[in-house]
Amino acid sequence: MEVKAQLLNPANATATTQIKADELNAKVENLAKKAAKNIKIDGFRKGKVPTAEVLKRYGGDLQNDARNEFFKDIINACLVDINKKADEIIGEPMVLKFDEKDGNIDVEIEISFKPEVKVDGYEELISDYATPRVTKKEIEDKVNEFLLMMAPVEKVEKDVLEKGDWAKFNFEGFVDGVAFEGGKAEDYVLEIGSNQFIPGFEDGMIGLKVGEEKDVNVTFPKEYGAAHLAGKPAVFKVKLLEIQGKKVGELDEKTLKALLPTEENPTAAKLEEKIKEQIRNEKFQKLLNEELKPKFADKAVEKFKFDLPKNIVEQEMDMQFRNAWGNFSEDERKKFSEDRDAAMAQRETYADEAKKSVALTFIIDELAKVRGVSVSDQELLQAVYFEAYRYGIDPKKHLEDYKNQGMLPAVKMAMIEEKLFNNLFKKDAKDEKGE
């Protein structure tokens, strides 16, 4: 088998050859002989199974195994010819051509390699910026927010329910005059204006007096979780039992201990410093994600030019097309499902963005090495577990799902990216002025 290798650019190469029918048959025969030594077939002693019997029973599988071995041989021959190593290959090689005729197979394989990225001079791309300021009013507002959050809900002496009040009430829901499961509760407490209930429900309760009953008419959203209720009009019979509110307390010793549980001697000054740091970080992250990072990314992709591995770009285009699927109209989804050419044309519209995304990934990877930024396995595990706790998912199962879906490398890369940009742009607190 003669393999013709062509290095298209430093990141991509093709290998073309023709697998002759007699070469393929010889490979299949050889595999059958090896299998015959270990395979067990009823009526034959182990190691004494005729090759013809193995071919008869497993000929199709052996054909596939032989082709896979040829693919490996083709790739290895290509690597030798273009002076590349196997560990330089990135992603799966793509079969561009596989034409069978008269037992012979014409094959063309495209192989991609991790590009060599140079990021010399990246420092000039780091934009200066005004460090986010934190005002005294912002700190006071956050303290008041904490106090409000911690304040207990209790009965207040007022007659008419208003937005912002807490209502204690009984209710029962009906669709087409029939009560439905899960639509009834007693002594239920709800903050009016929190939008926790179906749209229109809380607004319909405004103006109720304590002890008053009312029918509140609403319509379940079309995307409501219970299919038998989705999009249907409903009537809720409501009785207001009590109006409640929050009595905001003082920033006393007990409250400080609750807000600063790890401090031995919690003080208002320490709380304000913690809040200041939190607000500063929130502002910085917003600035970083909305302005600094996008500007740096655009400039980096423009400055650092290198050939991209084609198979990784193709994967990124596929992913962007899948991610956009939910935003297509019903007619568009139907068209793309039935018309492959139209789907491929739409997919092609993501090519430029995909190339930019792939280029940035390699730039970030190289910058992380230059800056000494990394994420340990322990940090990755903690991040996955934290995400699971936040969404109420079993952390071990969440980790296993990520492993099975091959998502851990992407999660790790996202964490490295976040660390890197913080490393590039974060200023010391002493740089802040005018607070």
| pLDDT, tens digit, 9 for 90 and up, residues 259-305 | 888 888 999 999 999 999 999 999 999 999 999 999 999 999 999 99
| Cα–Cα distance list, 137 to 141, 369, 384 (Å) | 6, 41, 36
Tell me the pLDDT tens digit for each residue of 77-133.
999 999 999 999 999 999 999 998 888 999 999 999 999 999 999 999 999 999 899
Q: What are phi and psi of 115, to 5 degrees?
A: -75, 155
Q: What pLDDT is attached to residue 428? A: 60
Alpha helices in 325-433 (DSSP H): 330-338, 340-348, 351-371, 377-390, 395-404, 408-425
d(CA 100, CA 85): 30
For residue 369, name the pLDDT band (cuts at 50, 70, 90): very high
Instruction: Express as a percent the part of the chain with pLDDT over 70.
Output: 98
d(CA 300, CA 94): 29
Average pLDDT over residues 339-364: 96
Burial 221-233 (b: 16+ CB within 10 A, else e): eeeeeeeebeeee
**Structure token digits, residue 35:** 């299998």
**Structure token digits, residue 270:** 């320490």
Average pLDDT over residues 14-43: 86
Contact 168, 187 (CB under 8 A): yes
Q: What sign for the dihedral angle of Cα 72, 78, 84, 90?
A: negative
- Maximum alpha-carbon separation in the chain: 96
pTM over 0.75: no
Q: What pLDDT is attached to residue 135? A: 95
Burial 298-325 (b: 16+ CB within 10 A, else e): eebbeebeeebbbbbbbebbeebbeeee
Q: What are phi and psi of 169, to 5 degrees?
A: -155, 165
Q: Burial of 37 by CB count in 10 Å (0-12 exposed, 13-18 middle, 19+ buried)?
A: exposed
Average pLDDT over residues 246-259: 86
Mean of pLDDT over the chain: 91
Q: What pLDDT is attached to residue 430? A: 46
Contact 270, 238 (CB under 8 A): no
pLDDT reading at 242 higher than 90: yes
d(CA 179, CA 176): 8
DSSP state of 151: S
**Structure token digits, residue 330:** 């019903």
Q: What pLDDT is attached to residue 342? A: 95
| Cα–Cα distance list, 385 to 109, 176, 413 (Å) | 41, 45, 17
Q: What pLDDT is attached to residue 261? A: 87
Q: What sign for the dihedral angle of Cα 377, 379, 381, 384?
A: negative
DSSP 255-271: HHHHH-TT-SS--HHHH
DSSP state of 226: S
Angle of CA points 340, 346, 348, to nearest 5°: 105
Beta-carbon contacts of residue 190 (< 8 Å; ≥ 6 apart)? 166, 167, 169, 196, 197, 202
Beta-carbon contacts of residue 26 (< 8 Å; ≥ 6 apart)? none
DSSP state of 373: -
187 vs 391, residue with greater confidence:
187
d(CA 98, CA 228): 51
Instruction: Express as a percent the part of the chain with pLDDT over 90.
Output: 71
Alpha helices in 40-129 (DSSP H): 51-82
**Structure token digits, residue 249:** 């307390």
Contact 388, 402 (CB under 8 A): no
Q: Burial of 346 by CB count in 10 Å (0-12 exposed, 13-18 middle, 19+ buried)?
A: middle
pLDDT reading at 345 higher than 50: yes
Beta-carbon contacts of residue 48 (< 8 Å; ≥ 6 apart)? none
Q: What are phi and psi of 166, to 5 degrees?
A: -105, 130
pLDDT reading at 424 higher than 90: yes
Tell me the pLDDT tens digit for each residue of 298-343.
999 999 999 999 999 999 999 999 999 999 999 999 999 999 999 9
Contact 198, 221 (CB under 8 A): yes
pLDDT reading at 165 higher than 90: yes
Tell me the pLDDT tens digit for each residue of 376-408.
999 999 999 988 888 888 889 999 999 999 899
**Residue ranges of domains in the chain, CATH in brackets:** 4-112 (3.30.70.1050), 152-246 (3.10.50.40), 265-431 (1.10.3120.10)
Q: What pLDDT is attached to residue 427? A: 75
